[in-house]
Structure 1
Amino acid sequence: MNNKRLNHIVSKVNDMPILPSRINKIIEITEDPDSTIHDLEKEILKDQSLTSRILKLANSAYYGYPRKINTVSQATILLGFQTIKSMALASTVSKMMTGELKGYALGKKDLWTQSQTCAIISRYIATKIKKTNPETAYIAGLLRDIGKTILNHYVEKEYNAIVNRVELGKISFLEAEEEILGFNHAQIGEKIAEKWNFPKDLVESISLHHTPEKSTIDPELVSIVHIADAITMMMGIGLGADGLKYNFSPFALENLNFKPNDMEELVSYSHDLIVDKDSFDLT
């Protein structure tokens, strides 16, 4: 790949909008131990769409609260600061991930549906192992393929070359991306996460979700997203051009102490989760 195209891809990352100040403020409040529910409510009420989504989730069957939740402060007590943070971020990135991605053979909303699915399964795995913050896992799963939104144009132009390289070289779509374009979508996603000033564990999980054995900051989080991503693809959710060669990394399975029987149960339960995903949907 020539340097001119490589520099152009990097410039596209630089041109990508930063997170809106309102979203950054909500994230800042949720991460400040001295913040109050009133502080968070005041900021949320500035966004009518986010307010309605929060109230909808708080009143969903999943939480099963006996009385109707009418205020953001009540919803925040029920949902918690971390869930509110996930909702705010999801409501913003959904706009970036709903378009058609011809380079990856993904129709409108396919990437978003796929990303939501991966996020929901990631949260469930984190809850199951009782270690990683479930909402951090949700965000990591949601954004693991954000890099595709930028690489899409280049993949589309080089689609035949990439597919031929996959078939003839017997390598993954990810590896073919890197060979032909100079970057793969996970590396571009890493750069986007860095631009958004995400914590290093989130940046790493986006960058290495296909190669968890390379993780050094939080191998557990990266392993969670890797497994959730593989299950999503196995379920055929938004299956695109790069979704046909997915296996569980032995490193990720060992890291989370998952045995074959555990995986069978996890895949089965993931189907049930997605059938009822409206109860978990943060957008």
Structure 2
Amino acid sequence: MPSMTIEALVKRTGRLLAIPKVVGDVLKLLDDPNSRQSVIANVLAQDPALVVIVLRLANSPAFAPARTVDSVERAVMLLGRDHLRRLVIAGAVTQASDRLPAQTLLPLEVFWHHSAYCAVIARLLADLESPALAGTVFLGGLLHDLGQLILFSQEPEAAHRAFLRSLGEPEAFTPQDAERAELGFDHAQLGGALAEHWGLPDILCACLRFHHDPLTAPEAFRLPVILVHLANTAAHLAELDSRDWRDAPPVDSGIWPLISIRPDTVLELLEKAQFQVLDVEALRNPA
């Protein structure tokens, strides 16, 4: 019987990965249309390391500003408050992940490499399908497997047993099935619950919670979840330098009638993603 509930794990991890108070203060200011850019910049400056991560990401191909973003005030002016909000969240979670205990089952470098690919590809897909969602699905892709990282760092034995079970009985157990058998919940449910615990936007919580089961996502969030779901599979192909869909986790066939993107188009994006992913990975190395 599973000994750890999702609620207990979220509570424990929420303390370990507590988002700094400055992040909450900045997000409140960004939500206030009357707040001044200079005030936002001054509050964010209380966490210089976070500022560096935010500016590095702001200048990456993921956001592709027309001019260099060299300050928080300039980021507000050139990117807008919605984009800056996503950058702050991404930077805060990236910082927080470094506080997880070191472990070898899912090293941070491997985790962020896949996450960066998923983020870049999700944005490229959104550019084709719904450009207004580009920033949201970029962040959804970057964080989609956060629950998996937490499982391997906080419940490594159970996570490893689930991994071995899915490898040994692939026809009977998907990786998520195996996690639920071992723990009573899977990494997507855990990631979504943690995002809710942090008070992240509902659309982002949905991207984490439903990225393996996009057709069960609430209708209002189904398209961004579909894009992250598709990007996750494409990211695996990009990492393997493969164009064979059988080499990656399966795409839910029910998504294709809901989007205009075709499978061949997804494969054509992989080379473009490979040129951008290093810049996104670099946000974790602000030196």
SS at match of 2:146: coil
Contact kept in structure 2, 1:223 and 1:253, CA below 8 Å: no
Match of 2:34 in 1: 34
Alignment of 1:228 onto 2:240: no
Match of 1:193 in 2: 195
Structure-1 separation of matches of 2:131 and 2:74: 27
TM score, norm. by length of structure 1:
0.81
Task: Identify which of 205, 208, 211 aligns with 1:206.
Answer: 208
Contact kept in structure 2, 1:230 and 1:248, CA below 8 Å: yes
Match of 2:178 in 1: 176
User: Cα deviations across residues 188-215 of structure 1 (Å, max 9, x unaligned)?
Assistant: 1121011112232222211110111111
Contact kept in structure 1, 2:41 and 2:72, CA below 8 Å: yes
| Range with bigger deviation, 46-55 or 259-268 | 46-55
The code of the aligned residue for 1:209 comes to H
Alignment of 1:247 onto 2:247: no
CA deviation after TM superposition for structure 1 residue 228, in Å: 1.3
CA deviation after TM superposition for structure 1 residue 176, in Å: 1.0
Match of 1:273 in 2: 276
Structure-2 separation of matches of 1:49 and 1:176: 38
Structure-1 separation of matches of 2:57 and 2:143: 21
Matched ranges for 1:54-203 at <5 A = 54-56=54-56, 62-65=64-67, 71-98=71-98, 100-102=102-104, 105-152=105-152, 153-157=154-158, 159-160=160-161, 162-168=163-169, 170=171, 171-203=173-205
Match of 1:6 in 2: 4
1:229–1:47 Cα change, 3 Å: same
Contact kept in structure 1, 2:256 and 2:262, CA below 8 Å: yes
Structure 1 segments of 4+ aligned residues over 6 angstroms from their partners:
278-283
Match of 1:241 in 2: none
Q: What is the RMSD computed on CA atoms of the aligned residues? A: 3.1
CA deviation after TM superposition for structure 1 residue 280, in Å: 8.2
Which protein is richer in helix relative to its size?
Answer: 2
Structure-2 separation of matches of 1:147 and 1:256: 27
1:269–1:247 Cα change, 3 Å: farther
Contact kept in structure 2, 1:87 and 1:282, CA below 8 Å: no
Structure-2 separation of matches of 1:155 and 1:273: 32
Match of 1:47 in 2: 47
1:199–1:107 Cα change, 3 Å: closer
Percent identity reads 24
TM score, norm. by length of structure 2:
0.80
Matched ranges for 1:12-27 at <5 A = 12-15=9-12, 16-17=14-15, 18-27=18-27
SS at match of 1:186: helix
Alignment of 1:256 onto 2:237: no
CA deviation after TM superposition for structure 1 residue 59, in Å: 6.2
CA deviation after TM superposition for structure 1 residue 14, in Å: 0.9
| Range with bigger deviation, 22-31 or 181-190 | 22-31
The code of the aligned residue for 2:164 comes to V
SS at match of 2:155: helix
Aligned residues: 271
User: Cα deviations across residues 100-139 of structure 1 (Å, max 9, x unaligned)?
Assistant: 444xx32242212322322222223223323543222122
CA deviation after TM superposition for structure 1 residue 156, in Å: 2.8
1:59–1:159 Cα change, 3 Å: closer
CA deviation after TM superposition for structure 1 residue 222, in Å: 0.5
Structure-2 separation of matches of 1:55 and 1:158: 35
